[in-house]
Amino acid sequence: MQTLQQPRLEAGEQEFVDQVITDRKGRPGALLGILEAVQEHHPHKYLPMATLDYIAAKTGVPLSRVFSVATFYSLFNLKAQGDNTICICRGTACHTRGSRNLLQSARLSLGLGLEDISEEDKVLLTTEDGKFTVRTVACFGQCALAPVVEVNQKIRGHVNERTLQREIETIERESE
Binding residues for other proteins restricted to 57-76, rule: CB under 8 A: 61, 65, 68-69, 72-76
The one segment of 6-14, 15-23, 125-133, 150-158 that binds other proteins by CB under 8 A: 150-158
Angle at 95 between CA 92 and CA 99, to 5 degrees: 140
Figure out which of the listed residues 5, 22, 119, 128 binds other proteins, where binding follows CB under 8 A.
119
Helices within 42-81 (DSSP H only): 49-59, 63-72
The answer to whether 103 touches 124, Cβ cutoff 8 Å, is no
Q: Decide if residue 54 touches other proteins (CB under 8 A).
A: no
With CA atoms as reference, report the closest residue to 74 among 117, 48, 35: 35
d(Cα 156, Cα 96) in Å, to the nearest integer? Answer: 17
Q: Shortest gap between Cβ of 48 and other proteins (angstroms)?
A: 17
Q: Decide if residue 20 touches other proteins (CB under 8 A).
A: no
Q: Decide if residue 116 touches other proteins (CB under 8 A).
A: yes
Q: For the chain, report the end-to-end CA distance as a whole number of angstroms.
A: 54
Angle at 162 between CA 157 and CA 167, to 5 degrees: 65
Q: Decide if residue 124 touches other proteins (CB under 8 A).
A: no
Residue 83, amino acid: D
Q: Decide if residue 80 touches other proteins (CB under 8 A).
A: no
Figure out which of the listed residues 14, 32, 78, 131 binds other proteins, where binding follows CB under 8 A.
32
- Name the residues that contact other proteins, by CB under 8 A: 27-33, 35-36, 61, 65, 68-69, 72-76, 90-97, 104, 108, 114, 116, 118-122, 137-146, 148, 155-157, 160-162
